Structure 1
Amino acid sequence: MAATLAVPAAAPALAEGRFAVIPKRTIYPGEQLDASALEEVAVTNPNIAPGYAERIDAIDGKVTTRTLVAGRIILVSSLREPFAVSRGKTVRLVFRNGPLLITASGSPLDDAAVGDLIKVRNLDSGVIVSGTVMEDRTVHVVAK
């Protein structure tokens, strides 16, 4: 009976099914993560700090902000979404106010991911406006 009680207490992390994602090779800042370069391993250290990636599908496609060493856990704070728009590349500006819809070409002043608020120069007028980057890579201009 004592042996039966000792087994569950000796492996609480495995009983919970906790996993951590580790890179198979060193991954450098600015690289986009690919599932083939990652591996899920069982967490055996009960004192591991929170904030690490637990599933490959949750971080696949994200971009690293620091070097990820092979065999070490990946902290979620060291990842970011890929940029949807790039500085200097032409984007479509969209302003909508009720039935009024205005579109123009613009040039972002910074790189930005979906949901970021950025400044964009209107290519026709030269005016700098602020807007939110959308999934379709357009920038929805906010009214002043």
Structure 2
Amino acid sequence: MAMPASCPAFRRAVLALALVAVGMPALAQESANQIAANQPVGEAVLIPNRVIYPGEAIELAALKQVTLVPGRHKPDGMATRSEELQGKVAKRTLLPGRYIPVAAIREAWLVEQGASVQVYFTAGALTISAAGVTLQPGAAGDQIKIRNIDSGKIISGTVMADGTIKVGAS
């Protein structure tokens, strides 16, 4: 049986879905307002103070610290501390005044697609190195595909912190 659009329960459900789809606002107020009013200070979080576009690095200058209304806590799965946000890159548009979902940020790429890299295979005292070209971008610890320049073979390897690629036996 279809629910009529005039039903209050239907309206509440549609409103709840719209709020989730648009994004969850950070229910916060400026900490200065709370301190001036001698109110208890809530949890401090960082939210964007301007639009941050996909692919843009998140800088602390683009964030502002706000204090949540007492009794409110940040939802799970949201990045709100400088350690979680500094140097990360936005995967999608981040709006001012909204929490930043962890799923909406990523590590900055250490190697870009098409970059020349050194590929290393190590087994005990044996180390083999080769030149390769990345077929996809990657951050430290990511598994990516590389084309060996000499043989033309496509191999998979792990991006290391120094920008080299480590491959294992297959």
Q: Normalised by the size of structure 1, how large is the TM-score?
A: 0.84
Residues 97-108 of structure 1 aligned to structure 2 (within 5 Å)? 97-108=123-134
1:87 to 102, 107, 113: 113
Post-superposition shift, 1:47?
6.2
* 3-state SS in 2 of match to 1:120: strand
The one-character-per-residue Cα deviations of 1:30-70 (angstroms, maximum 9, x if unpaired) are 10001111112111162652222221232111000111111
- Of 38-47 and 25-34, deviating more is 38-47
Quote the residue 2:58 is aligned against.
33
**Structure 2 contact 79–100 (Cα < 8 Å) conserved:** yes
- The DSSP-based 3-state class of the residue aligned with 2:66 is strand
Distance 1:142 1:57 in 2: 32
Asked whether 1:21 is paired with 2:46, we answer: yes
Deviation at 1:29, TM superposition (A): 0.6
Aligned pairs, number: 131
Counterpart position of 1:118: 144
Q: Distance in 2 between matches of 1:20 and 1:93?
A: 41
Q: Which has the higher contact order (CA 8 A, sep 6+)?
A: 1
Q: In structure 1, what residue type is equivalent to 2:43?
A: R
Alpha-carbon distance between aligned partners in 1 of 2:45 and 2:79, rounded to the nearest angstrom:
6
Structure 2: which 5+ runs fail to align? 1-38
Structure 1: distance between partners of 2:161 and 2:167: 14
Identity rate of aligned residues, in percent? Answer: 44
Query: 2:147 & 2:128 partners in 1: Cα distance?
Result: 15
**C-alpha contact 1:109 1:118 (8 A) present in aligned 2:** yes
What are the Cα deviations for residues 101-132 of structure 1, in whole angstroms up to 9, with x where unaligned? 11111011111111011111000111111110
> 1: CA distance between counterparts of 2:117 and 2:74?
43
> Post-superposition shift, 1:72?
1.5
Task: Provide the residue aligned with 1:109 in structure 2.
Answer: 135
TM-score in terms of structure 2 length: 0.72
Task: Measure the CA separation in 1 of the matches of 2:99 and 2:45.
Answer: 6
User: Aligned partner of 2:94: which letter?
Assistant: L
Secondary structure of the residue aligned to 1:106 is strand
Match of residue 79, structure 2, among 47, 53, 64: 53
Q: Root-mean-square deviation (CA), in Å? A: 1.7
Residue 43 (structure 2) pairs with residue 43 (structure 1):
no
Residue 5 of structure 1 aligns with which residue? none
Q: 2:143 and 2:83 mapped to 1: Cα distance?
A: 27
Shift >6 Å, 4+ stretches: none
